[in-house]
């Protein structure tokens, strides 16, 4: 390889640019409070697979194939440069996944005694990025609807008279009401398992399509079992045990398909020419274009000041209060036009956080992400129907105080959504409208002690907006 030293020298600046730009952004998302994911552990699993393959024994005599290596490096550079040009750091970070594929090709993991597929470990690394929130944005509401359409007739055989009413399954005979769920987290876990299996299995014809079908059926089955257990009262199972049982049901079809495949066998040397210096130079230049991607999204909407929180709501008088430092930092990173007021009046004195955006798919986040980003522990309690469909959360701030957060997603035309996933669907159908997240925040027990006052305040607030 007469050009090997020159190729390494040309690739080095691009590799450093990937690490210092998208790599640093990814590390901060793993370490920061904005995303509730375990991506760092998944990245460690990827590196463990690469290390296990490399240490299993030598590859056949030869060199890393130049064509797939050059394609991976150029893709990494192109994604990094695209993320910089559009100011979307997540796109730049996807270049790291292509870089992982390039590392696997250089290590020749496909040709070693314990082989792994480079593209499969790259896909596994891509899942380590904060993608679960995006999956929830676009898949939770459709999955919820599909789950309900299947669960209602299936579970109706065990619960006569079962009704699907809005976001609920209602059993009128036993007085049970169960909130529908999308099961996005289980689908996310199935994706991790699926790519891990693909990295080590010899796939027969059609196995990949069959595996995708099995993952979909499994996710749907897990949702139906979860809803059935809730309607039946859980059979004494804790929420933790019920979660594991539903995950086992969801995983079973995918494991059944995987059990019919054989383990991946080492491949012989590719016999391709090595990477050329010109390709290495192009890839490195592209990677340098993605250095330090800015944290501002390219389609972030300009500040929006209307509608605003009213100063007077019947007997309640609202005073504008500043955002906390974690809240200011969160909205500075993710966008949106926030406003906060404290309403003083009879019996309850709520704080209200209003977040407005004309680009809600990117900028408008549910209360869970906003509160987690502000350093709170968050637990979803459920939903209520009045004065509008409202999601209720219990949060615990860094000082240990518990709060009740009642959140609505509405737009200026009067439409409303139960969660960010439904909002995304509605906005994609009719883009351009200003959407708002309205969160009423009270001490945890305040609305239990004064339910009529809380209802009256919420009705007046939502009517004003």
Topology classification of domain 312-464: Protein Transport Mog1p; Chain A (3.40.1000)
Kindly provide the residue ranges of all beta strands, DSSP E only, lying in 307-419, ordered along the sequence. Answer: 312-313, 316-320, 337-344, 351-357, 377-384, 390-396, 402-411, 416-417
Which value, in Å, is the radius of gyration of the alpha carbons in the chain?
A: 26
Give the single-character DSSP code of 57: -
Distance between CA atoms of 281 and 276, rounded to whole angstroms? Answer: 9
Q: Average pLDDT, stretch 201-216?
A: 87
Do the beta carbons of residue 400 and residue 378 sit within 8 Å?
Answer: no
153-199: pLDDT as tens digits: 888 888 888 877 767 777 777 777 777 777 788 888 898 999 999 99
pLDDT at 374: 67
- 264 vs 181 pLDDT, higher one: 264
Strand partners, 406: 392, 440
Do the beta carbons of residue 237 and residue 229 sit within 8 Å?
Answer: yes
Q: Which residues does 152 contact at the CB level (< 8 Å), separation at least 6?
A: 162, 163, 164, 169
Distance between CA atoms of 375 and 324, rounded to whole angstroms? Answer: 11
49-92: pLDDT as tens digits: 999 999 998 887 766 677 888 888 888 888 887 877 766 677 77
* Closest CA relative to residue 26, chosen from 12, 40, 11: 40
Please provide residue 253's backbone torsions phi and psi, each rounded to the nearest 5 degrees.
Answer: -60, -40
With a pLDDT cut of 90, the percent of the chain lying above it is 9
pLDDT at 298: 44
Q: Would you say residue 118 has pLDDT above 50?
A: yes
Q: Would you say residue 38 has pLDDT above 80?
A: no
Distance between CA atoms of 191 and 373, rounded to whole angstroms? Answer: 26
293-341: pLDDT as tens digits: 454 444 455 677 778 888 888 898 888 988 877 777 777 767 778 888 9
* Closest CA relative to residue 184, chosen from 231, 157, 147, 212: 147
pLDDT band of 251, cuts 50, 70, 90: very high
Q: Average pLDDT, stretch 258-286?
A: 77
- 175 vs 225 pLDDT, higher one: 225
Tell me the two tokens of residue 278.
């010109």
pLDDT at 295: 47
Instruction: Please state which of the ranges 3-12, 40-49, 94-103 shows the lowest mean pLDDT.
Output: 3-12
Distance between CA atoms of 121 and 107, rounded to whole angstroms? Answer: 13
Q: Residue 309: how many CA atoms within 13 Å on its side-chain side?
A: 26
DSSP strand pairing (402-411 vs 435-443): antiparallel
Q: Average pLDDT, stretch 214-238?
A: 85
SS (HEC) of 239-298:
HHHHHHHHHHHHHHHHHHHHHCCEECCCCCCCCCCCCCHHHHHHHHHHHHCCCCCCCCCC
pLDDT at 299: 45
Do the beta carbons of residue 368 and residue 378 sit within 8 Å?
Answer: yes
Give the single-character DSSP code of 365: -
Given phi > 0 = left and psi -120 to 50 = alpha, else beta, which region is 232?
A: alpha
Do the beta carbons of residue 54 and residue 112 sit within 8 Å?
Answer: yes
* Most trustworthy range by pLDDT among 251-255, 295-299, 428-432: 251-255
Average pLDDT across the chain, whole number:
80
Instruction: Give the 3-state secondary structure of residue 58.
Output: coil
C-alpha to C-alpha distances, 188 to 192, 193, 379, nearest whole angstrom: 7, 9, 20
Q: Would you say residue 36 has pLDDT above 60?
A: no
Distance between CA atoms of 329 and 373, rounded to whole angstroms? Answer: 9
- 343 vs 144 pLDDT, higher one: 343
Does 387 sit behind a cis peptide bond, omega within 30 degrees of 0 on the bond before it?
A: yes
pLDDT at 197: 92
Domain segments of the chain: what residues? Answer: 4-116+264-288, 133-262, 312-464
Distance between CA atoms of 125 and 23, rounded to whole angstroms? Answer: 12
* Closest CA relative to residue 80, chosen from 13, 17, 162, 172: 17
Q: Give, in degrees to the nearest 5, the angle at Cα 193 between 189 and 194.
A: 110
């Amino acid at each position: 390889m007469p050009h090997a030293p020159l190729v390494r020298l040309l690739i080095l600046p691009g590799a450093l640019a990937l690490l210092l730009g998208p790599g640093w952004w990814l590390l901060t998302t793993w370490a920061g409070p904005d995303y509730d994911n375990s991506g760092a552990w998944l990245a460690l699993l990827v590196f463990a697979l690469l290390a296990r393959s490399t240490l299993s024994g030598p590859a056949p005599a030869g060199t890393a194939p130049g064509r797939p290596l050059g394609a991976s490096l150029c893709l990494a550079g192109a994604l990094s440069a695209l993320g910089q040009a559009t100011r979307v750091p997540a796109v730049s970070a996807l270049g790291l996944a292509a870089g992982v594929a390039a590392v696997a090709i250089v290590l020749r993991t496909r040709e070693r005694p314990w082989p792994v597929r480079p593209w499969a470990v790259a896909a596994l690394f891509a899942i380590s990025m904060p993608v679960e929130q995006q999956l929830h944005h676009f898949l939770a509401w459709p999955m919820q609807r599909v789950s309900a359409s299947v669960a209602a007739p299936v579970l109706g055989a065990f619960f006569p008279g079962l009704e699907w009413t809005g976001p609920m399954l209602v059993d009128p005979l036993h007085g049970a009401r169960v909130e529908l769920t999308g099961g996005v987290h289980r689908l996310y876990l199935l994706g991790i398992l699926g790519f891990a299996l693909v990295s080590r299995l010899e796939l027969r014809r059609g196995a990949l399509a069959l595996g995708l079908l099995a993952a979909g059926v499994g996710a749907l089955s897990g949702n139906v079992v979860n809803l059935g257990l809730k309607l039946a009262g859980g059979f004494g199972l804790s929420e933790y045990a019920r979660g594991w049982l539903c995950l086992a049901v969801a995983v079973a079809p995918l494991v059944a398909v995987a059990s019919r495949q054989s383990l991946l066998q080492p491949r012989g040397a590719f016999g391709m020419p090595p990477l050329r210096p010109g390709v290495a130079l192009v890839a490195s230049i592209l990677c340098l274009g993605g250095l330090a991607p800015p944290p501002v999204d390219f389609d972030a909407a300009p500040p929006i000041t209307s509608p605003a929180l009213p100063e007077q709501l019947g007997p309640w008088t609202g005073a504008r209060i500043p955002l906390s430092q974690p809240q200011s930092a969160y909205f500075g990173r993710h966008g949106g036009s926030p406003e906060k007021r404290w309403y003083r009046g009879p019996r309850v004195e709520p704080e209200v956080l209003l977040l407005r955006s004309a680009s809600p798919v990117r900028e408008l986040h549910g209360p869970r992400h906003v509160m987690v980003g502000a350093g709170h522990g968050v637990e979803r309690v459920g939903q209520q129907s009045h004065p509008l469909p409202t999601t209720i959360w219990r949060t615990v701030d860094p000082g240990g105080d518990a709060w009740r957060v009642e959140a609505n997603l509405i737009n200026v035309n009067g439409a409303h959504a139960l969660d960010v996933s439904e909002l995304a669907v509605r906005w994609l159908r009719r883009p351009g409208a200003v959407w708002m997240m309205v969160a009423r925040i009270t001490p945890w027990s305040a609305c239990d002690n004064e339910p009529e006052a809380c209802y009256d305040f919420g009705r007046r607030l939502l009517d004003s907006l």
